[in-house]
Structure 1
Amino acid sequence: MPMIVISGLPASGKTTRAKSLQHHFIEKGKKVHVISENLSTANAGFAKNEYFADSQKEKQVRSDIKSEALRLLNKEDVVIVDAGNYIKGYRYELFCATKAARSTQCTLFCGIQPTRAWDFNQQRTDDDLVKCGDSADDQFVDNSNVPYSREIFDALCMRFEEPHGNCRWDSPLFVVFPDDTLDFGAIYSALYESKPLPPNQSTQNPPLSSANYLFDLDKLTQDITADVLAARKIGNTGPVPVKGSQVKVEVPAAINAIQLNRLRRQFLNYSKLHHATTSSLDKVPQLFVQFLNSNCNA
């Protein structure tokens, strides 16, 4: 689904903007999922300030939020990640997930001066682990109106890695300050009227292989290296023909078993990622010989 990654300092209005976006896209007839750090933190049993003081607890909740976003990804609905998202590496992981799903993404940066954010924070009055809902079954925990302590607030401001529009994982970037109005039209256009970025090798799963592919691949390459070593052992220093193929192995006479096996492992690792299909087995001898000839004579 198109993803909106919200980022900003503590008490910068992230949840307010998330609710506005949710309302807008619902009016547009879209299904919207809001993944809230405030809800995830409290429902994990962590008090707000204790959570941000413990990097392991933060890591756990960030992982939960990312997993939920990946589970919900499709090309039509909207997912809004309502969290600080202050680590640029984490925003990059979400960006890669969106590319892998062939969907679109944008970043909304809630800009604010730290002094004003602290003023907003002091207006919060709830205690940690505030229960919401009409019945016991519907109750959930919402820490949105729980204030940060001064120590945690300053620490989060110091850690914050501001999004930049020239970084591909933060682009397109929309910046909004507390007194600004959201440009809903531009955000909608970025998500639904632009082409998703094509997935690259780092965001694609390796192709599936047949049941016997790896065994056959290993056997074929072992046979070829054994033939080369046998030829060298009897004094044949010239090209070594490959059985059932027109190609010949042309490697230096001084090549030894350790060097050949190291190259064979490199070829196997590459082939598992790029040629793991049944039909490619017919081409393995030729490809392996080309690989040996090229690397041994380089």
Structure 2
Amino acid sequence: MPLCLIVGCPNSLKSTRALEIKEFFEKEKKKTVYIISENDIIKKSEIEKNNVYQESAKEKLIRAELKSNSMRLLNKNDLIIMDGLNYIKGYRYEIYCATKASRAAQCTIHCVVTKEKGWKFNEKRDKNEAYAREIYDALWLRFEEPISTNRWDSPLFAVTDEDKLNMQEIYETLYERKPPVANQSTQNPPTMDTNFLFELDKLTQDIVTDIVSARKIGNIGAIKVKNSTETVNIPSEVNASQLNRMRRQYLSYSKLHIHTAGDLTKAPTLFVQYLNSVLSE
């Protein structure tokens, strides 16, 4: 059930690399390969490309469809390639959790290009495919670079526009290594009734409030969270708005992975594990 996550700034040859990987795996390894393309989803949505990245609500819908289309295709042997910017660390973590819960192998391909060269590539694109300058610059500022020490970005293959991918190593990573074992933080949070999401929203908000309050009275280092078996470690530079953004990302992930049985007793620990995972480097 392997998945290959393509990551990169605008015009870093992401789709070119996706096609190269597809050709290698189909011809050399006789695998069935599916490319799920962010650009294709945008075209089908009939939303102008620059408008997608200008309005967060529209971009969120595109990301959600990219993820759901990819996860739906996961199976035992076929290779799924997610071709898109995939620039948000929390979003990549969600993908990691989903593939890990499915016992699927995964790798990240980071397509690297200089900002200047990327803009030159952009100027050669068809008008309907090109980024406006302000959107291009904004996406570069938003980009959260994958790091090999982050388990959700690893194994990581970085490739410049002048490099060749090591296809055999990618194949061995996806098909010959054992996939990661699912743990509590990547398993789907259970639900006891239809009020689960409401209760989870309130519970996670209370945890964030407690963390912020602890900070205000001078508590530093590990913070004990009520009803959790673990402590949360929040770097001093992380503020309340950033914590709430992570909370919303966790709720979005939970909304897509609700089981029909269970309770909220493990939710505080799962949320703490999520925060620690996203914030760890």
Give the TM-score band, short-chain normalised: 0.5 to 0.7
Distance 1:19 1:269, change over 3 A: closer
- For 1:42, the equivalent position in structure 2 comes to 43
- For 1:30, the equivalent position in structure 2 comes to 31
- For 1:91, the equivalent position in structure 2 comes to 92
Trace 1:184-263 onto structure 2 (pairs within 5 A). Answer: 184-205=167-188
The answer on 1:160 being equivalent to 2:161 is no
Give the C-alpha shift of residue 202 in structure 1.
Answer: 2.5
- For 1:214, the equivalent position in structure 2 comes to none
Structure 1: give runs of 5+ residues left out of the alignment.
129-145, 210-267, 273-298
Question: Contact (CA 8 Å) 2:190, 2:264: kept in 1 or not?
Answer: no
- For 2:53, the equivalent position in structure 1 comes to 52
Give the C-alpha shift of residue 75 in structure 1.
Answer: 2.7
Question: Contact (CA 8 Å) 1:74, 1:101: kept in 2 or not?
Answer: no
Q: What is the number of equivalent residue pairs in this alignment?
A: 197
- For 1:70, the equivalent position in structure 2 comes to 71
- For 1:278, the equivalent position in structure 2 comes to none
Q: Give the % identical residues.
A: 49
Question: Contact (CA 8 Å) 1:75, 1:102: kept in 2 or not?
Answer: no
1:178 pairs with one of 143, 161, 165:
161
Give the 4+ runs in structure 1 shifted more than 6 A. Answer: 206-209
- For 1:105, the equivalent position in structure 2 comes to 106
- Between the aligned partners of 1:33 and 1:201, the Cα distance in structure 2 is 29
- Residue 85 of structure 1: SS of its match in structure 2? coil
- Between the aligned partners of 2:190 and 2:63, the Cα distance in structure 1 is 29
Distance 1:185 1:43, change over 3 A: same
Structure 2: give runs of 5+ residues left out of the alignment.
193-262, 268-281
Superposed CA RMSD: 2.1
Residue identity matched to 2:90? G
- Between the aligned partners of 1:203 and 1:181, the Cα distance in structure 2 is 33
Distance 1:152 1:25, change over 3 A: same
Give the C-alpha shift of residue 9 in structure 1.
Answer: 0.7
Q: Deviations over 1:147-202 (max 9, x none)?
A: 11111100000000000000000000000001101100110011011000001113
Which structure has the larger Rg? 1
- For 1:151, the equivalent position in structure 2 comes to 134
Give the C-alpha shift of residue 42 in structure 1.
Answer: 1.2
- Between the aligned partners of 2:130 and 2:59, the Cα distance in structure 1 is 17
Give the C-alpha shift of residue 73 in structure 1.
Answer: 1.2
- Residue 81 of structure 1: SS of its match in structure 2? strand
Give the C-alpha shift of residue 51 in structure 1.
Answer: 1.1
Q: TM-score, normalised by structure 2?
A: 0.67
Question: Contact (CA 8 Å) 1:51, 1:58: kept in 2 or not?
Answer: yes
Question: Contact (CA 8 Å) 2:97, 2:187: kept in 1 or not?
Answer: no
Question: Contact (CA 8 Å) 2:191, 2:264: kept in 1 or not?
Answer: no
Give the C-alpha shift of residue 208 in structure 1.
Answer: 10
Residue identity matched to 1:168? R
